Amino acid sequence: MRLEAVRIPQRLRAFPAQGAEVFDVTIDACVVKSIEPSQQAARGTLLSGLVDAHAHIDKNFTVREVGAAEGDLFAAIGRAAAHRAGWTADALRVRMTRALDDAWRSGTRALRTHLDWRDASPPISLAVFEALREAWRDRVELQFVALTPLDLFADAEAGVRVASTVKRAVGVLGAFIYRNEGIVHKLERVFDLAQDHGLALDFHVDEGLDAQATGLRTIAQLAIARRFTGRVTCGHACSLSVQDDAAAQDTLSLCAQAGIHLVALPTTNLYLQGAWDRTPLQRGITRIREAASLGVRTSLATDNVQDAFYPYGSYDLIETFGLGVQMAHLAPAFDWLDAVTVSPARALGLAWDGRIGPGCPADLVLLAATDEYELLDPRGRRRIVIRAGHVSNRW
Ligand SMILES: [Zn+2]
Domain boundaries, the chain: 2-48+354-394, 50-347
pLDDT tier at 75, thresholds 50, 70, 90: confident
Judged against a pLDDT cut of 90, whether residue 71 lies above it is answered with: no
How many whole angstroms from 52 Cα to the centroid of ligand 1? 12
The neighbourhood of ligand 1, an ion, using CB within 5 A, equals 303
So what's the pLDDT on residue 276? 86
Residue scoring higher pLDDT (73 or 254)? 254
Does the annotation count 207 as an active-site position?
yes
pLDDT tier at 54, thresholds 50, 70, 90: very high
Average pLDDT over residues 234-248: 95
Cβ count within 10 A of residue 82:
10
Fold type of domain 50-347: TIM Barrel (3.20.20)
How far from chain centre, in Å, is Cα 386?
Answer: 21
Q: What is the pLDDT of residues 317-371, one digit of tens each?
A: 999 999 999 999 999 999 999 999 999 999 999 999 999 999 999 999 999 999 9
Selecting among 141, 207, 372, 374, the annotated active-site residue is 207
How many whole angstroms from 166 Cα to the centroid of ligand 1? 18
Residue 264: strand pairing partners: 300
Spatial distance between the Cα atoms of 317 and 304, rounded to a whole number of angstroms: 12
Q: Where does 2-48+354-394 sit in CATH, by number? A: 2.30.40.10
How many whole angstroms from 58 Cα to the centroid of ligand 1? 11
How many Cα atoms sit within 13 Å of 108 on the Cβ side?
A: 32
Spatial distance between the Cα atoms of 384 and 8, rounded to a whole number of angstroms: 15
So what's the pLDDT on residue 69? 85
Q: What is the pLDDT of residues 260-313, one digit of tens each?
A: 999 999 999 999 998 888 888 888 899 999 999 999 999 999 999 999 999 999
pTM, rounded to two decimals? 0.97
Judged against a pLDDT cut of 90, whether residue 72 lies above it is answered with: no
pLDDT tier at 79, thresholds 50, 70, 90: confident
